Chain A
Amino acid sequence: MSTTTPTPRVSTRRLLLVGLAVSLLIAGVVSFYASGHPDGLEYVAHSLGFGDAATSSPTAGSPLADYGVSGVSNARLSGGLAGVIGAVVTGALVLGLVLLVRRRGPRDRGRA
């Protein structure tokens, strides 16, 4: 960890490529090993008796519903593919959004 030299050591391109690779690995491969236990909210909802109030999502029929690709039977492949698709869609949407609203040109805060 850098404690003394805060100078940039990695190019933006390299940072993005490595970050993207790590994220896709998590979404595409590591996600298969995620805990299947109910999460905190679900657990509390069921133990206190309001879990049944949850209704099925109107998008439950989506081909990607519940992090699987419908038609792909291999669970590892189906979940991994769904994760990669979701990560790519998320990244594209956010990148498009921030590129639309960002200020053009270098930041005008004493580092012209």
Chain B
Amino acid sequence: MTPLEVAVHVPDGFLDAPTSVTTGVAAAAVVGASLVRAARHELDDRTAPLAGLVAVFVFAAQMVNFPVGAGTSGHLLGAALAAVLVGPATATLCLTVVLAVQAFLFADGGVTALGTNVLLMGTVAVWVGYLVARGVLALLPRRPASIPAAAACGALVSVPVAALAFVGLYALGGAAPIPLDQLAGAMVGWHVLIGIGEAVITFLAVSSIVAARPDLVHAARGRLPELTLKTPEPVA
């Protein structure tokens, strides 16, 4: 198989070297900041294991391309899913590890493009998904059941916005000159469809975790009734 047949992420060669170096540096800075933020605000003894599970699930789900019509497919990014469940900075760390494992072990997504992919999927999609989910959550009733719906909205928006961010990078350092409006239109069009699949999977996955352990869900912090806070840890 050629890399293109399985690569979903930006492969090497789509962006020129200066752009790839720049995105690499920017991605490294984002990962560093995320380490600090995750340690200070998101991760503790109780929530750390969920981050491991989220990363495993995102890796697994990214292997399963679903058809979106006319000979095209897409797969879960998992950015909004991870951000809602474990917090945006931890989500960036999870996505970065997933992308690095894919690039180095599986030749999926370029190695020089790793920084680009960390920025697009691990940063833009994560924060857009998270902020949209938080915004929607503020409008919905303060119930656990609101969280999956808000996460699905974040997921739906995160995919086309990440695709648009790719168009932005391509405008800066694209390999071949092509009309940017065509590129933007095609990318957004397909990625809205992929975003619908993303929303469905995110809704189901977040629903399961919220049903089982709402107390571990990052986006639920401060939004659950008092009774969640009764004991430190129910069962080890």
> Which residues of A are in contact with B by a Cβ distance under 8 Å?
1-3, 5-16, 19-20, 22-24, 26-27, 30-31, 33-45, 47-51, 53-60, 62, 64-67, 82-83, 85-91, 93-95, 97-99, 101-107, 109-112
Contacts and interface: CB of A to CB of B under 8 A. Distances in A.
B178 A65 contact: no
| Residue among A11, A41, A53, A109 with the highest chain B CB neighbour number at 10 A | A41
Contact of A55 (B8, B12, B108, B236): B12
Nearest to A89: B101
Chain B: interface size category: 35 or more
A27 B60 contact: yes
B155 interface: no
A48 B93 CA distance: 33
Contacts of B55: 90-91, 93-94
Nearest to B109: A57
B46 A106 contact: yes
A2 B102 CA distance: 35
A21 B236 CA distance: 19
B37 to A, nearest CB: 10
Contacts of B178: 48-50
Contact of B12 (A3, A40, A43, A54): A54
Nearest to A111: B229
Interface stretch (B21-29, B130-138, B209-217): B209-217
Contact of A11 (B7, B13, B102, B235): B235
Contacts of B74: 39-40
Contacts of B3: 54, 56-57, 60, 66
A24 B9 CA distance: 22
Interface string B96-126: 0110011111111111000000000000000
Contacts of B148: 1
A62 B176 contact: no
A26 to B, nearest CB: 4
A41 B8 contact: yes
A68 to B, nearest CB: 8
A42 to B, nearest CB: 6
B183 interface: yes
B51 to A, nearest CB: 5
A2 B211 contact: yes
A1 B105 contact: no
Contacts of A38: 4-5, 71-73
| Residue among B63, B90, B194, B232 with the highest chain A CB neighbour number at 10 A | B63
Given A6-B225, A31-B60, A65-B107, 8 more contacts: A33-B64, A36-B73, A40-B68, A41-B10, A42-B8, A59-B105, A87-B56, A90-B98
